[in-house]
Structure 1
Amino acid sequence: MSIPADDISPFVNRRQRLLDTMRAQGGGVAVLPTAPEVMRNRDADFPYRHDSDFYYLSGFAEPEAWVVLIAGAENRSILFCRDKNLEREIWDGYRFGPAAAAERFQFDEAWPIEQLDERLPKLLANQPALYAPLASDLAVDGKLRDWLGAARRNSRGGDTAPQRLYDLRALLAEMRVIKDASELAIMRRAAKVSADAHLRAMRTTRPGQREYQVEAELLHEFRSQGSQFPAYGSIVATGANACVLHYRAGDAEIRDGDLVLIDAGCEIDGYAGDITRTFPANGRFTGPQRALYDLTVAANNAAAAVTRAGARWNEGHDAAVRILAQGMIDEKLLSGSLDGVIESNAYARFYMHRTGHWLGMDVHDVGDYRDPTPGADGVRPWRTLEAGMVLTIEPGIYVRPGDDVPEHFWNIGIRTEDDAIVTDTGCELITRDVPIDADAIEALMRR
């Protein structure tokens, strides 16, 4: 992870917003660790990636670190991190150390991580509430229990440990679901680099290649443009493999006449891109492929058309389903009336996932999809979209062989996915640098 840009104000502002929320609820202490380093095998670690919530508040990308925020008469922001160690820096690279980290990331205080267990019980003393990631990790739960126990034992005038516990991740999920201007700028960049990678893959794919060779083109473009990681394991699926929703790029040979489905995105400065395109390996859709492909594009456009501030989360999905279900009837994949196919969920045989998800620091980002308060029927209604939310729009159709399925559609898997920023008047599709129209794809492949 690269060091954030010189402007640390977005991270400071987020800490202040959280402190304001805590003060409104009576004050208290928030504690949040970053992710641990994880061993891959023997003495080799997996590439390190920070915890998203931790980075959202701190901008700090080193392991072995905690953020502590105290909301009270005077707010305090504290970072615990690794101490300077010039010998370890020879092996592992630069460490900020507490003094430089406090200055660079604008914390009121910073202390060596070795002092965490000593200082936390004292920081919890006489505080009304503790905000922490509850029941998310056994090791973290153990530390919280030890600190609360020590705070109680150290009390001489009665039980001064926090009496109220709040799940900090729930508060941060609500903050993260609406992106600020700095986040949207990074996400547009991640979308652009992800789109460039898809263009590269489409231009270079030919029958006779292996799926992993196409994946290599994606990874090359990601890294050459400054992406620190893929946002998730890239899906490169040829032929029947495209009917496996979470297929990973393997060694299958791409054959003449195959469709190739690529679902891939890069991560830049902690934020994910997420694009899916499906294209013919030889540059030309067959008739059956084109019929189903055009159907998914129509569903994508229908969902995008209803995605705007004030709409409900489910409206895009419902719009896509009506297009897809009618197409399934028209192409003899299903029979019956449109309303009947939808009400019976018969379309789910060929379209079994929803049309989108939140997108942000995590590719399946945090945030509730329903309002917190149930309606008169006792059911929580779908959430109302607001400007600044970011979501994917990704209808698909996946046809496995079956005795009642027209053979010319067997083993066709198609998905078209775009990233959308919700605005007051509609949505901004930030991934349309990759063509989605079938004619435009064929023209790109010819070039």
Structure 2
Amino acid sequence: MFTTHRRKFLDSMDDGDIAIFPGASPAIRNHDVEYPFRQQADYWYLSGHDEPDGVLLLAKGIEGFSEDGIFVLPKDPAQETWTGIRLGPEGAKQELGFSSAWNLDELETVLTEALQQARRVWYRLGENQTIDSFLVKQLSSMRMKTRLGIHPPEALLEPTHVLHEMRLHKSEAEVEVMRKAAALSVEGHIMAMAQTSPGMGEWELQALCDYTFRRGGGSGWAYPAIVAGGANACILHYNTNQELLKDGDLLLLDAGAEYGCYAGDITRTFPVNGKYTPAQRDVYEVVFAAQAAAIEKCRPGTIFGDIHATAVAVLSEGLRTLGVLKQSVDEIVAEELYRPWYMHQTSHWIGLDVHDAGRYRNGDNWRPLAAGMALTVEPGLYFASDDERVPAPLRGMGIRIEDDILITPGGHENLTLAAPKTIEDVEAACSAERAMPATIDAELMVK
């Protein structure tokens, strides 16, 4: 998969071009404790290399350079005792399929030689200060050597215009990985539905999802879970997850697993006690209908913005039915009267990043969908506790429903369809028997 991605990017390069892609470096959480390492998405897409501080070099028509090379941390038995086994240059060639590989400490020497032959350089400024500084220094030096026949490259090109368009169109190999991320995400939601009950902490369900994702072979969460009981669901990116769940409230759970660096992203909203109230049913059915209509639009040729427009039209009619607004649907949509209760877009791309790479517009116009694109569909309605514009039974209620949709040649595939979604299926899942991870029964004493 990764070799194919490199080959495709090389096809967009001209003779005399080089392209430089740095990987991620460890980040400090506090003092000498690092955050869990996660590879930079563009670098992973092209290399499949999951060690820190790597640099990818693609070269086309550059004498003395193979087309794909990589700089990696050197083999170091003493250091590997502390931080784990490294591939080293030979391992990078054997296991990742690179034609050339160097120790990281050779980076400046090798890049200097490549730059002296390069006509154009593909590199994204502003993301790696070390390489930014090296390139600025090197290019400035080359300008002073023209009498020696050394000339700086003619152009510095932004690689993501090409690369992110590639990432937007998923290959079948990528789709298989995304199906696994989606399946783990589904399992986390099903487990949460079965275990949720009044008096539980939001944090317990967050831990349960994280456990389920890791236990199933994922690297963990694709983003910090939103576990929002009651009115917390009206905070779109609520993730403190520190309140107790109350009888009669809804729980909005927005959580997804990461597998092979690809993200799942699911939202379900279900009753803490397992049964929707009449008011909750009414709002839920509106959001459910909006999502169903929007998903139906997911097929090749549909304009991206039409997905949101479809959801908005259904939600606007629902706001009339719920007694929140009285104006006509046309007026509600035209004047955006729905925005106090539906303030976000319906969709975003999904892939290596949960909000994945790729343009949404061609110029001023929304782009059409095409086979291989993957996006979420996630309409919602949010009624704050103190919002006196809405009927009292609706206040303190936030409902969102989200699935991951792959555009196929003939329509779409809902990657997360197995997560219960109809009222009947959700209530059945909430009442299902499903084993909970073992708990510590003994009282913990702090001395």
TM-score, normalised via structure 2 length: 0.93
Equivalent residue, structure 2, for 1:445: 430
Distance 1:177 1:152 in 2: 38
Q: Is the 8 A contact 2:206 2:241 kept in 1?
A: no
Equivalent residue, structure 1, for 2:158: 167
1:409 matched to 2:394: yes
Q: Aligned to 1:398, which of 371, 379, 382? A: 382
Matches within 5 A, 1:232-271: 232-271=223-262
Equivalent residue, structure 2, for 1:281: 272
Q: Is the 8 A contact 2:119 2:153 kept in 1?
A: yes
Equivalent residue, structure 1, for 2:437: none
Distance 2:411 2:20 in 1: 38
Identity level (%) = 38
* Deviations 1:53-107, CA, capped at 9 Å, x for gaps: 0010001110111000011277521100110000111111110111111221111
Residue 152 (structure 1) shift: 4.0
Distance 2:372 2:423 in 1: 30
Partner letter of residue 200 of structure 2? Answer: Q
Partner letter of residue 413 of structure 1? Answer: G
Q: Aligned to 1:427, which of 396, 412, 422? A: 412
1:319 matched to 2:332: no
Equivalent residue, structure 2, for 1:221: 212
Q: Which runs of 4+ in 1 moved over 6 A?
A: none
Q: Is the 8 A contact 1:124 1:151 kept in 2?
A: no
Specify the SS of the correspondent of 1:221: helix
Q: Is the 8 A contact 1:122 1:151 kept in 2?
A: no
Distance 1:31 1:58 in 2: 12
1:113 matched to 2:104: yes
* Deviations 1:97-143, CA, capped at 9 Å, x for gaps: 11111221111111111111122111111311000012334444222
Partner letter of residue 117 of structure 2? Answer: N
* Deviations 1:425-447, CA, capped at 9 Å, x for gaps: 21100101111101111122122
Q: Is the 8 A contact 2:291 2:311 kept in 1?
A: yes
1:208 matched to 2:193: no
CA 49–154 in structure 1, closer or farther in 2 if over 3 Å, else same: farther
Specify the SS of the correspondent of 1:346: coil
Provide structure 1 residue ranges, at least 5 long, that are not aligned to the other structure. Answer: 1-9, 373-379
Specify the SS of the correspondent of 2:117: coil
Equivalent residue, structure 1, for 2:353: 362
Provide structure 2 residue ranges, at least 5 long, that are not aligned to the other structure. Answer: 433-447
CA RMSD of aligned residues (A): 1.4
Equivalent residue, structure 1, for 2:8: 17
* Deviations 1:238-290, CA, capped at 9 Å, x for gaps: 00000000000422010000100000001001100000000000011111111
Residue 394 (structure 1) shift: 0.3
Distance 1:412 1:107 in 2: 53
Specify the SS of the correspondent of 2:338: helix
Residue 161 (structure 1) shift: 1.7
Residue 231 (structure 1) shift: 0.2
Q: Is the 8 A contact 1:20 1:71 kept in 2?
A: no
Distance 2:219 2:388 in 1: 47
Distance 1:272 1:416 in 2: 17
Q: Aligned to 2:299, which of 308, 318, 328? A: 308
Partner letter of residue 199 of structure 1? Answer: I
Equivalent residue, structure 2, for 1:102: 93
Partner letter of residue 368 of structure 1? Answer: R
Partner letter of residue 388 of structure 2? Answer: D
Residue 170 (structure 1) shift: 2.3
1:386 matched to 2:377: no
1:130 matched to 2:116: no
Distance 1:285 1:430 in 2: 26
